[in-house]
Amino acid sequence: GAEVDGKRIVVARLPVIWGRASEMLLALIRRYRPLAVVAFGEAGAEPVRVELVARNVRQDIPDNAGALPAGAYIVAAAPDSYRTTLDAQRIRRALQGAGIPARLSTDAGGYLCNETFFSLMHYQGPGAASIVRRGFVHVPPLDAAVALPDGVVVRFDRQRLEQTADLVIRAVAEGL
């Protein structure tokens, strides 16, 4: 319900369940018909990764319900990959300018983050035409310590993770 540059922000937590996260995300798009969609996921104790490429691939890793993916591909007849439409450089600069370690990434993995990212990029149903920007950002887990090139260590406590999300959303909103 918050607003950034006059644009209302909608936040939802998606389950780490094969297929279910994408279903919920696409239902939200149909309901709200957003101008932009930024999905976030948790990665390792590393810099924030602004993902550039979503791949049509799944790895055989159990989800939070213990289930394996239904197949090797997210969408059988879809392209091999999609590129983000977020201004990834703008996002990276905004984060780094605030002292948050960030980098661009061409590998969103083969787990649910990549599946959600690919489904977001592939979606062409109701509400899709309104989306100017869409993409995915990986953040470190809560309380992860990430070293900057100068040796300074940044701890991703709750406040730093909220700041990271806020900076990403503001960078996207400013580019609309």
The residues annotated with a catalytic role in the active site are: 51, 113, 138
Residue 122 host element (H or E): helix 112-122
Q: Cβ atoms within 10 A of the Cβ of 160, count?
A: 20
Chain mean position to CA 119: 11
Judging by DSSP bridges, how do beta strands 48-51 and 102-105 pair with one another? parallel
Q: How many CA atoms lie within 13 A of 171 on its CB side?
A: 25
Q: Name which of 123, 119, 138, 108 is nearest 22 in CA terms.
A: 119
**If DSSP codes are grouped into helix, strand and coil, which group holds residue 4?**
strand
